Amino acid sequence: MERWVEETLHRGFRVRLKADRVLFDSDTEHQRLIIFENSDFGRVMMLDGIVQVATKDEFVYHEMMAHVPLFAHGQVRKALIIGGGDGGVLRESLKHPELESITLCEIDRSVIDLCREHFPEVSAGAYDDPRTRIVIADGTKLVAETDERFDVIMVDSTDPIGPGAVLFTKPFYADCRSALAPGGVLVTQNGLPFLQGPELRQSVGYFHEMFADAFAYLASTPSYFGGPMSFGWGTDDCDLRHLRQDAIERRHAEAGAFPTRYWRPDVHVAAFALPNYVRELVEG
């Protein structure tokens, strides 16, 4: 008998993926988690009815969350990932040779364990890198209590439902701001502007109160159904978002010109060129 798994994120429509083979389907300590194989998207993980990662297109989201802020900053020594238990953003971040240490804070240990078991190609050894530190904790508590300062903070969160909801609040963003080193960059997962416009407007609205430069950029990940994905952007260095393509190319070359499948210097620059309907959300 065929099994189809429905994504339930959006109010006005539903998307179903055929589960050719179910590998895991159970409640963790914090959320409902299912892992299955699909002929079009590869191996898929859903949390609380929402697609989180699919092996055939995960490179889009992970490359764009990591390389845009890391190459824009250009001198990242210490970075922090909130969420990101699949290890994809961690994997991409560790490709930057100047990075000396990176902390990944994940609230649900079972997400890391299951992804290491069922999605080993996503983390690709990143958890075993000596620069990696894993913290199993509530990310809101970490940024509120830490004395460390990070050059880049990447909030690789679920959508604002269940345990991920607190990662879209003004107090959390303010604590992230405090945990940044001077000139640091905060990047956040902010949903699909076409379907989740209020989410992006609210987050970047908070950023406008906290940072000299508050904006967003876009990338299209096929398994995140409903249009391009937005990433919130906040920093006090107003030059970082406006770097020219040749400057990004030079930094990529200095990092070893490692191969990518979606991110490129020209895509990096173009990602900040927002369609009018998104720019209206971002500029208020």
What tens digit of pLDDT does each residue of 84-129 get? 999 999 999 999 999 999 999 999 899 999 999 999 999 999 999 9
Q: What is the pLDDT of residue 172?
A: 95
Q: What is the pLDDT of residue 162?
A: 64
Q: Per residue in 43-56, pLDDT tens?
A: 999 999 999 999 99
Rounded Cα distance between 47 and 272, Å, is 29
Rounded Cα distance between 211 and 222, Å, is 31
Rounded Cα distance between 173 and 204, Å, is 10
Q: Per residue in 235-278, pLDDT tens?
A: 999 999 999 999 999 999 999 999 999 999 999 999 999 999 99
Q: What is the pLDDT of residue 242?
A: 98
20 catalytic per annotation: no
Homologous superfamily (CATH) of 4-54 is Spermidine synthase, tetramerisation domain (2.30.140.10)
> Is the pLDDT assigned to residue 163 strictly greater than 70?
no
Q: Per residue in 60-93, pLDDT tens?
A: 999 999 999 999 999 999 999 999 999 999 999 9
Q: Per residue in 220-239, pLDDT tens?
A: 999 999 999 999 999 999 99
Q: What is the CATH number of domain 58-283?
A: 3.40.50.150
Rounded Cα distance between 156 and 66, Å, is 10
Domain ranges (residues) in the chain? 4-54, 58-283
Q: What is the pLDDT of residue 31?
A: 78
- At 189, the pLDDT band (50, 70, 90 cuts) reads very high
Q: From the candidates 156, 213, 237, 239, which is the catalytic residue?
A: 156
Q: Per residue in 193-211, pLDDT tens?
A: 999 999 999 999 999 999 9
- At 166, the pLDDT band (50, 70, 90 cuts) reads confident
> Is the pLDDT assigned to residue 141 strictly greater than 70?
yes
Q: Is 159 left (phi over 0), alpha (psi -120 to 50) or beta?
A: beta
The conformation of residue 35, written as its DSSP 8-state character, comes to E
> Is the pLDDT assigned to residue 29 strictly greater than 80?
no
